[in-house]
Amino acid sequence: MLNRQAMLQHLRTHAPVIAPSMLKCDFGDLHREVRALDAAGFPLLHLDVMDGHFVPNLSYGPMVIRSLRPLTETPFDAHLMISDPARYLDEFLDAGCECVTFHVETVSDPGELLERIRQRDAVAGLAVNPDTSLDAVRPWLDACDLLLMMSVHPGFGGQAFLPEVLPRVREIRELAPDGLIISMDGGISERTIADCAAVGSDVFVAGSAVFDQPDYAAARRSLSAQAASAQVSMEKSG
Which has the closest alpha carbon to 161: 127, 206, 103?
206
Annotated catalytic, 185?
yes
117 neighbors 143 (Cβ within 8 angstroms): no
Determine which one of 77, 185, 195, 202 is catalytic.
185
| Amino acid identity for residue 124 in this structure | A
| Whole-angstrom Cα Rg for the chain | 16
Distance CA 72, CA 185 (A): 23
76 neighbors 69 (Cβ within 8 angstroms): yes
Distance CA 165, CA 1 (A): 33
* Dihedral, CA of residue 159, residue 165, residue 169 and residue 175, to nearest 10: -140
Distance CA 99, CA 127 (A): 12
What are the beta bridge partners of residue 76? 45
| Amino acid identity for residue 234 in this structure | M
Distance CA 161, CA 56 (A): 19
Q: What is the per-residue burial (b if ≥16 Cβ within 10 Å, else e) of 104-115?
A: bbbbeebeebbe
C-alpha 22, offset from chain centre: 11
The residues carrying an active-site annotation are: 48, 185
